[in-house]
Structure 1
Amino acid sequence: MTDRLITHLRHVDLAVPDLARQRDFFTGAWGLTAEHGDTGISFLAAEGSPEQYVVRLRRAAEKRIDLIAFGAATPADVDALALGLATAGVPLVGEPGALRTPGGGYGFRFFDNEGRTVEISADVAVRDHRRIEEGESVPVRLSHVVVNSADPEGTVAFYRRHLGFRLSDTLVHPRMGEMMWFLRINSWHHSMAVARGPHPSLHHASFELRGLDEYMRGTGRLLRAGVEKIWGPGRHLAGNNTFSYFLDPHGNTVEYTTELEHVDEDTWHPHLYDFSRPEVSDQWGTANAMNEFVAARSFNDPDAGLFTAPPV
């Protein structure tokens, strides 16, 4: 396994046909803030996060994941990661250099094993952010991103070998075998997870709220607004975090969560959790049952952007 030079998750970038509708959803009911924008593109920040933005939206003919972005500590670490990937034959979109997105910085992009575009950057300017107050049910930060994979074993191996991700836990099923792998890049239980699916796509993007009360208030606000709920509210066993899953206007699953577990990396040993046991999916027993309907919605549409870098 490579040395872990990635420090954290920065943002997830989505392309959608109806940019205005998607932006209105994320800045309205969902609670993000539009910080920057240009014709055909919007950068959305979380009020509690030092990241310049946690979601980037771009108008496009087909919906896709434009990229998933991670941070590194220094430009030297960015260069080391780029060199290691190139030496291993991983296709780079471009060599490391100055970024022209909000906050600047130094970074590069590459394609992972299934063709998703991934960005790694350092020296991005810190955004002026604030403490989220008690009762304020807006996202504090982007918690994690989960992707569907037609080759999940290969995808997990790619991120562990080339990027230093570590395995926290795995969900298994008595008939279907291993189904979801939780990967960490710091002490958070997971910043990324890989789910077995019929095709590469976004499974869900998760946003952390201040605490349980804020999480429930946010969940209630979305329900009152008529946003379609897929699953929740409940609390997972793997990661010990709460969950409420909703659909955005383009059919992507987005999650409100809180209290994601911090692990002691010196002593942690990955678990195999049998998610046919109801308490594994939901410790509380308050969520609707995980069934074929929930699973099918999380499969999403096949990603239209594989091995094609976004234009910006």
Structure 2
Amino acid sequence: MTTFGDVHEGLHADGVALRGEHPGRHPNPVVKVVDLAWLEFGKPDLTRTAAFAADFGFTPVLHTADELHLRGTHAGPPCVVVRRAARSAFLGPAFRAATADDVRRFAEAAGVGVEPLPETLGGVSATTRDPGGARVRVVTGCTEHPALPAQPAWTDHNTGDRLVRINRGQRAPREAASIERLGHVVLQSDRYLEALNWYLAQLGLIVSDFLYYPGQRDRGPVMSFLRCDRGDTPSDHHTLALMLGPANRYVHSAYQVRDLDVLAAGGEYLRERGYRRSWGIGRHIQGSQIFDYWRDPDGLIVEHFTDGDRFDRSVAPGWAPMSASGLAQWGPPATADFLGTPPSPRSLGELRSIVSALRCADNEFDTRRLLGFLKVANS
């Protein structure tokens, strides 16, 4: 019998599950993936995408007329695979399996075949769709690019009376913040609970934290932060985050950088080049990451992060009410741009999705959930 720890006690409004609430894990999943491998996007202008990627801190490993692969400094496959498309779109995540047998079991459960990936990626994959329609790949045996030199860390910090830097200044260079690795992706679904249970059962992910709408805990969670179950080996607080909403869509993706100085200087580098910050700099509550969110040229949100939590499988899910003000321990308030509330083509699209979801009975987004959603956005 597994004994679960509680690391959430006393952390703002966090608590643990009440009797009968969602356990946050499946007792016998089909496979247990070990990490995100990469994210796939479609983009109409790969030259513009590559220019932003360089300023954001990626290193290209493939750039053709039809395909762009972007990597971090850590060893492994590319973090992002971009294919030329008529419009900008998130195509889906690829998760890394430990063995080819895991890919085969996942394929059998999904009723699909195991297929070789292109030579540019290597390995094999099984591909299906989650309940929200996102294409999900499980892959293994992919090409492992060797590590690149890491961006220097700023370790000579004077803290209180502990002096380690005397007669020397501290000057972080104004340059791109080198991406080290892919951290997580956040997806919205109008079938949130169905999608959550699918990822727990099919991929063996486990929940680190649940959020619920204030006054609606009796109806269950509306957001969950899921990590890979690596047993005693710690993994990121979340590899995938799922949230209830009126439409099935990409919310943002996050990429690790070296430290706060690198993140902040990299943000100034982006700002000077005319890119738009969506929200930041701050430190999250769930996951504890220091964050900085930006809009890419196609309007998608991407995040620099550093200093995130790592949990092993002994940590049970935390529970907390959702609020805009509860998204960060410190930093500026969550912006209207990040929350999607200002009048814009994106927010008008979300409004149309709300109307459509309320008219359709075949989803989890009803009138009461809408009231909770609006309460969070205005908190």
Q: What range describes the TM-score normalised by the shorter chain of this pair?
A: 0.7 to 0.9
Identity of aligned residues (%): 27
**Cα deviation digits, residues 182-223 of structure 1 (max 9, x gap):** 011142111010122221111001000012221222222222
- TM-score with structure 1 length normalisation? 0.86
Q: CA deviation at 1:292?
A: 4.4
Alpha-carbon RMSD: 2.2
- The structure with the largest strand share of the pair is 1
Q: CA deviation at 1:110?
A: 0.9
Residue in structure 2 matched with residue 294 of structure 1 by the alignment = 338
Number of residue pairs the alignment of both structures matches: 289
Q: CA contact under 8 A between 2:288 and 2:307: conserved in structure 1?
A: yes
Q: CA contact under 8 A between 1:208 and 1:256: conserved in structure 2?
A: yes
Alignment counterpart, residue 225 of structure 2, candidates 165, 176, 182: 182
2:43 is equivalent to residue 16 of structure 1: yes
Q: CA deviation at 1:156?
A: 0.7
Q: What is the alpha-carbon distance in structure 2 between the residues aligned to residue 270 and residue 282 of structure 1?
A: 19
Paired residue secondary structure (1:6): coil
Residue in structure 1 matched with residue 139 of structure 2 by the alignment = 121
Q: What is the alpha-carbon distance in structure 2 between the residues aligned to residue 214 and residue 265 of structure 1?
A: 31
- TM-score with structure 2 length normalisation? 0.71
2:302 is equivalent to residue 254 of structure 1: yes
Any gaps of 5 or more consecutive residues in structure 2? 1-25, 154-175, 230-234, 351-379
Any gaps of 5 or more consecutive residues in structure 1? 87-91, 303-312
Q: What is the alpha-carbon distance in structure 2 between the residues aligned to residue 72 and residue 216 of structure 1?
A: 34
2:173 is equivalent to residue 148 of structure 1: no
Runs of 4 or more off by more than 3 Å in structure 1?
Answer: 175-179, 297-302
* Corresponding letter in the other structure for 2:227: R
Larger Rg: 2
Give the direction of change, closer, same or farther, for the CA distance of 1:271–1:21 in structure 2 (3 Å limit). same
Q: CA deviation at 1:49?
A: 2.3
Residue in structure 1 matched with residue 197 of structure 2 by the alignment = 157
Paired residue secondary structure (2:212): strand
Q: How does 1:1-312 map to 2 (within 5 A)?
A: 1=26, 2=29, 4-27=31-54, 29-46=55-72, 48-86=73-111, 92=112, 95-135=113-153, 137-174=177-214, 178-186=221-229, 187-266=235-314, 268-276=315-323, 278=325, 280-284=326-330, 286-287=331-332, 289-290=333-334, 292-296=336-340
Q: What is the alpha-carbon distance in structure 2 between the residues aligned to residue 84 and residue 261 of structure 1?
A: 32
Give the direction of change, closer, same or farther, for the CA distance of 1:261–1:101 in structure 2 (3 Å limit). farther
Give the direction of change, closer, same or farther, for the CA distance of 1:140–1:84 in structure 2 (3 Å limit). same
**Cα deviation digits, residues 117-173 of structure 1 (max 9, x gap):** 111111112101124132572110011011111111111111011111101102233
Q: What is the alpha-carbon distance in structure 2 between the residues aligned to residue 6 and residue 131 of structure 1?
A: 28
Q: What is the alpha-carbon distance in structure 2 between the residues aligned to residue 37 and residue 291 of structure 1?
A: 34
Give the direction of change, closer, same or farther, for the CA distance of 1:121–1:208 in structure 2 (3 Å limit). same
Q: CA deviation at 1:265?
A: 1.7
* Corresponding letter in the other structure for 1:240: S
